[in-house]
Amino acid sequence: MNKDITLVILAAGMGSRFGGLKQIEPMGPNKEFIIDYSVYDAIKAGFTKIVFLIKEENYELFKSTIGSRVEPHIKVEYCFQKNDNIPEGYTIPEERKKPLGTAHAISCCEKCVNEPFMIINADDFYGRDAYMVGANFLKNISTTKPYQYGLVGYYVKNTITENGSVKRGVCEVENKALTKITESSISKEDGRYIARPLDGTNEFTVEPDTIVSMNMLLFTPSIFSFIKEKFPEFLNLNKDNLEKCEFLIPDVLFSAIKEKYATCDVLQTTSTWYGVTYKEDTEGVKKALQNLVSIGEYPNNLWED
């Protein structure tokens, strides 16, 4: 089915644990970035547009590196995440430099996105199957179901780093629909996967095939209205913590489900996630990408072969 679908790449965050802009760390055999592989896979899956959500001060850097490579192959637009892009009547402390979170990031893309879309993190490698699964869902969303969203879910065993704990959303699913996400810090300890909820509730063990969210979410433009509705509530709730609070899309999605504004299908992928949560992860990601090139999943020179 021919249908316009967009990939929104969230790239406004700085990699504090990594020690810099990890989105532009060369990873592939010919200095490709993880974003290069994301765009390549998106094109293969049938996405028709890429929207980069970045900080305005990084525009020239992104356009001269990533943009110059991918713009010949797919339509590209840029949006900026700014802390002054908030509801009227509210202000964010000037000393805050960190972006306001992923829900705020998505709201900053509204003028660029008029079609079903998927969001991903800039510094995560998701794998070809995940893009195929996501694209198929977006292409088949009925115009009569604008409040049908999706989540590409990974087996937790395919998302762990050897170098420390990782933040994952542990999914609860009924009849292939998402009912709850428990944002947790997960680590592999003595052969077991231990999830420690970020809200401070008791830790629990998850099975290797437990489905977790990697922030690979699928929406229609109807999500923008719901974000606008929830943003003032969030700011009022966090009026004493505006220097650090984050308006996060998993929280907004869960509210949409709980309030029956939308449903969210959980789409399973067999892909393995790779990412640089810690600087020590870098060599492992490079080896994994080299292996995928060696077996023919990707060409040696991504944009020239």
The structural domains of the chain, with segments of one domain joined by +, span 6-151+213-267+280-294
For the chain, the average pLDDT equals 90
Q: How many residues in the chain?
A: 305
- 229: Cβ–Cβ under 8 A, 6 or more apart, which residues? none
* Of 299 and 142, more confident: 299
Q: Which CATH number does the domain 6-151+213-267+280-294 belong to among 1.10.3720.10, 3.90.550.10, 3.90.1150.10, 1.10.150.120?
A: 3.90.550.10
| Residue closest to 77 by CA, chosen among 60, 53, 100 | 53
Q: How confident is the model at residue 218 (pLDDT cuts 50, 70, 90)?
A: very high
For residues 264-274, average pLDDT = 95
The pLDDT value given to residue 97: 81
| Whole-Å CA distances, 13 to 28, 223, 268 | 22, 21, 27
For residues 60-78, average pLDDT = 91
Q: Is the pTM of this model over 0.95?
A: no
Map residue 258 onto helix, strand or coil: helix
For residue 252, pLDDT over 60 is answered with yes
Residue 145, both tokens: 């179901």
Q: How confident is the model at residue 2 (pLDDT cuts 50, 70, 90)?
A: low
CA 199-201-206 angle, to 5 degrees, is 100
For residues 232-257, average pLDDT = 91
For residues 189-193, average pLDDT = 91
| CB neighbour burial string for 269-289, b if at least 16 within 10 angstroms, e if fewer | bebbbbbbbbeebbeebbeeb
Half-sphere exposure (CA, 13 Å, Cβ side) for 64? 5
The pLDDT value given to residue 17: 40
Dist CA 42 CA 47 (whole Å): 5
| CB neighbour burial string for 15-51, b if at least 16 within 10 angstroms, e if fewer | beebeebbbbbebbbeebbbbbbbbbbbbebbbbbbb
The pLDDT value given to residue 150: 96
The pLDDT value given to residue 15: 43
Q: How confident is the model at residue 162 (pLDDT cuts 50, 70, 90)?
A: confident
For residue 19, pLDDT over 60 is answered with no
Residue 129, both tokens: 């199957």
Q: How confident is the model at residue 62 (pLDDT cuts 50, 70, 90)?
A: confident
Asked if residue 152 lies in contact with residue 130, where contact means CB atoms within 8 angstroms, the answer is: yes
Burial of 175 (0-12, 13-18, 19+ CB in 10 A): exposed
Q: How far is CA 79 from the centre of its chain?
A: 16
Taking residue 303's Cβ as centre, other Cβ atoms within 10 Å add up to 15
Half-sphere exposure (CA, 13 Å, Cβ side) for 236? 8
